[in-house]
A and B are shown apart, each in its own frame.
Chain A
Amino acid sequence: GENVEQHPSTLSVQEGDSAVIKCTYSDSASNYFPWYKQELGKRPQLIIDIRSNVGEKKDQRIAVTLNKTAKHFSLHITETQPEDSAVYFCAATSNAGGTSYGKLTFGQGTILTVHP
């Protein structure tokens, strides 16, 4: 089955700096890679996702890059703000049909702290 590794486990930055979180996956059939933000005691919320037919996607201060050959993808947050402080999870799944039901395999999470 799929295995997703996420690094670093904790990341501390100053407000205005950039933050980068990296994930690797093992299953070459995976074709959808979402990123979720989870604040303490809250539900995971999607912040950005990327499909395997593109290499990069950007949404304001957030971007995700995907390298299918190397099987890794990264989250980039620019101009960080204190409200970006949360736990971030990467995930991977295959939506290829058949018995691929789209279950998400998550990384271990990154605790991001943005200091004012």
Chain B
Amino acid sequence: DTGVSQDPRHKITKRGQNVTFRCDPISEHNRLYWYRQTLGQGPEFLTYFQNEAQLEKSRLLSDRFSAERPKGSFSTLEIQRTEQGDSAMYLCASRQDLTGRETQYFGPGTRLLVL
């Protein structure tokens, strides 16, 4: 399967702990997006990378959140000092950087539960 992959698929943690998620995009895709989806809602944009550069961050991304894409391939999203309100599905998506190739392909997501 050459689609977008994410790891882990599920994470249960206690409030105050740090967690890190990984996303591996489709190999030729240089655009990578992180979204958060809560139950019954559509995904909400968190941050965007073009190659290794983080070019946009949502207001939703508090200073407890940090994302990296060090070599322009995989990306990590870290949440420090987790809170119960961080419980959600964290989705990664990637796409090509070409006109006419706007489709974003989503990974299976990491479901986070903060106790």
Contacts and interface: CB of A to CB of B under 8 A. Distances in A.
Interface of A: 4, 6, 32, 34, 36, 42-46, 49, 51, 89, 91, 93, 95, 99, 101-109
Contacts of A102: 31, 33, 48, 95, 102, 104
Nearest to B48: A101
A11 to B, nearest CB: 15
11 contacts: A34-B103, A44-B106, A46-B104, A46-B105, A99-B56, A102-B31, A102-B33, A103-B33, A104-B93, A106-B43, A107-B42
A55 B87 CA distance: 39
A62 to B, nearest CB: 15
Interface in B13-51: 31, 33, 35, 40-45, 48, 50
Given A49-B103, A107-B42, 16 more contacts: A6-B42, A36-B106, A43-B4, A43-B91, A43-B107, A43-B109, A44-B91, A46-B103, A46-B104, A95-B102, A101-B56, A103-B48, A104-B104, A106-B43, A109-B41, A109-B42
